[in-house]
Amino acid sequence: MINNQHELQDILHLHQSWLDKKPWGKQGCLNNANLYNIDLSNLTLSGFIFHNTNLTKVNLTNTVLTNTIFVNANLYKAKLINASLIRSNLFGANLSNADLTNANLTTAILSGSTLHNAQYSINQMLMIDIQDTSDKLNLELMRWECSIHPNGKFAFDNWKKNKIYPFSYNIRRMFHFNEKRDLWNYSTPKLSLYKLWLLIARNNDINL
Rounded Cα distance, 162 and 155, in Å: 10
Is residue 108 within 8 Å of 85, Cβ to Cβ? yes
pLDDT score of 3: 60
DSSP string, 46-69: TT-B-TT-B-TT-B-TT-B-TT-B
Question: What pLDDT is recorded for position 97?
Answer: 98
Of the listed ranges 24-38, 48-62, 154-168, the least confidently predicted one is 154-168
pLDDT of 1 strictly over 60: no
pTM: 0.92
pLDDT at residue 164 in the model: 77
pLDDT in tens, 62-105: 999 999 999 999 999 999 999 999 999 999 999 999 999 999 99
pLDDT digits (tens, 9 = 90+) for 93-119: 999 999 999 999 999 999 999 999 999
Split at pLDDT 50, 70, 90, the class of 5 is: confident
Superfamily (CATH H level) for 1-129:
E3 ubiquitin-protein ligase SopA (2.160.20.80)
d(CA 90, CA 75): 10
The predicted model gives 47-56 an average pLDDT of 98
pLDDT of residue 2: 63
Residue 167, pLDDT score: 78
| The dihedral formed by the CA atoms of 199, 200, 205 and 208, expressed in degrees to the nearest 10 | -70
- Ranges of H-type helices in the chain: 5-19, 122-125, 135-148, 152-162, 193-203
Assign 122 to helix, strand or coil: helix
Q: Which amino acid is at 39?
A: D
pLDDT digits (tens, 9 = 90+) for 137-196: 999 999 999 999 988 899 899 988 887 788 765 677 889 999 999 999 999 999 999 999
Per-domain boundaries in the chain: 1-129, 135-203
Type and span of the H or E element at 116:
none
CA distances in angstroms from 191 to 30, 142, 145, 196, 199, listed in the order given = 41, 12, 13, 6, 9
The percent of the chain in helix, strand and coil, each rounded to the nearest 5, is 30, 10, 60
